Amino acid sequence: MTVSQQIFTNEEQKKPQKSGAFKTARLAQRIVMIIIGAAMMSVALEIFLVPNELIDGGITGISIMLSHIFNIPLGILLTLLNLPFLVIGYKQIGKTFALSTLFAVVVMSIGTQLLHPVNPITVEPLLAAVFGGVILGVGVGLVVRYGGSLDGTEIVAILVSKRLPFSVGEVVMFFNLFILSGAGFVFGWNNAMFSLIAYYIAFKLIDITLEGLDQSKSVWIISDKFRDIGEALTERLGRGVTYLDGEGGFSGDNKKVIFVVITRLEEAKLKSIVEDWDSDAFIAIGNIHDVKGGRFKKKAIH
């Protein structure tokens, strides 16, 4: 065996090996969660929003208005209008994203067709906006969390933001304000305002679904008593800490930085622990969307 062959063999052995059963289970989980998310969006549209002439933002909102004007089945429009963005997504983001999105859109379209004859649960616009927005937001959040999308607006926003001095979020908001304004001419301004309520609720629920109800936070602490604080956090919060080397920008002094990840519910306790050891310690706290691996497990606070 040559040296190069030996190095190649060693590198192959270092790579994490995952069994076929594990990969199959992960794929099955992704498929099931995308189906649930797309089905929830179908329920939100056909049982709550569409019968009450309320819309969502993005391609879905455009599809609802066109379906109302031209009497074309909503499921057909959702599929046709999203197809061009699937091609763009394939080129810009990748095959897995495009296939996941295509699967989600097809499931959602079939769901809207099957649910179209079903009577709405409520004909009260405010109730429809609230509950429709909640169900829609959770459904979209599940699909996005597991690698797909149910609307092509975000893909367009990514492309536009590269050529204009606006963020992706600002571009999406501009598109949706334009679409929701159009609902005022199609369904009346009262319904357009109720649609705005549904859109806002869905927007917030997407964030909650992506981040989780028990949101995680990253914390950086700078203190001369870093060792005492780190040990206290490990003992009283059950959290592993990492000590990072830092240097003061003005003083040039070497500093130790404590890095730790906690849950939202542990934030007050962490501040109390740090305060006990060093009331002048610098603390920076930020939200993070996901935590995997390591020793991040919820433990009792004491």
Do residues 270 and 183 share a domain? no
Give the predicted TM-score (pTM) of the model.
Answer: 0.70
Which residue type does 240 have? Answer: G
Asked if residue 7 is part of any domain, the answer here is no
Distance (Å, whole) CA 262 – CA 295? 11
Tell me if 199 sits within 8 A of 133, measured CB to CB: yes
Do residues 104 and 228 share a domain? no
Do residues 170 and 127 share a domain? yes
Do residues 267 and 176 share a domain? no
Q: What is the arithmetic mean of pLDDT over 95-108?
A: 87
Question: So what's the pLDDT on residue 169?
Answer: 59
Do residues 65 and 177 share a domain? yes
Q: Residue 100: is its pLDDT beyond 70?
A: yes
Q: What is the mean pLDDT of the chain?
A: 82
Task: Compute the 3-state secondary structure of the chain and give helix, strand, coil in percent, each to the nearest 5.
Answer: 65, 10, 25
Q: Domain range holding 228?
A: 216-287
Out of 183, 211, 239, pick the residue that ends a domain: 211
Provide the number of structural domains found in the chain.
Answer: 2
Asked if residue 67 is part of any domain, the answer here is yes
Per this entry, what is the length of the chain? Answer: 302
The gap from C-alpha 25 to its chain's centroid, in whole angstroms, comes to 22
Q: Residue 93: is its pLDDT beyond 60?
A: yes
Question: So what's the pLDDT on residue 21?
Answer: 78
Asked if residue 297 is part of any domain, the answer here is no
Distance (Å, whole) CA 5 – CA 26? 33
Higher pLDDT, 290 or 219: 219
Q: Residue 146: is its pLDDT beyond 90?
A: no
Q: Residue 4: is its pLDDT beyond 90?
A: no
Q: What is the CATH number of the domain that holds 259?
A: 3.30.70.120
Question: So what's the pLDDT on residue 161?
Answer: 64
Question: So what's the pLDDT on residue 259?
Answer: 94
Higher pLDDT, 280 or 288: 280
Do residues 41 and 115 share a domain? yes
Do residues 125 and 229 share a domain? no
Distance (Å, whole) CA 125 – CA 183? 14
- % of the chain surpassing 70 pLDDT: 82
Q: Which of 234, 214, 34, 237 is nearest to 141 (CA)?
A: 34
pLDDT tens readout for residues 207-234: 778 766 556 789 999 998 999 999 999 9
Q: Residue 12: is its pLDDT beyond 50?
A: no
Q: Which of 43, 9, 41 is nearest to 105 (CA)?
A: 41
Do residues 65 and 185 share a domain? yes
Asked if residue 296 is part of any domain, the answer here is no
Q: pLDDT tier at 96 (50, 70, 90 boundaries)?
A: confident
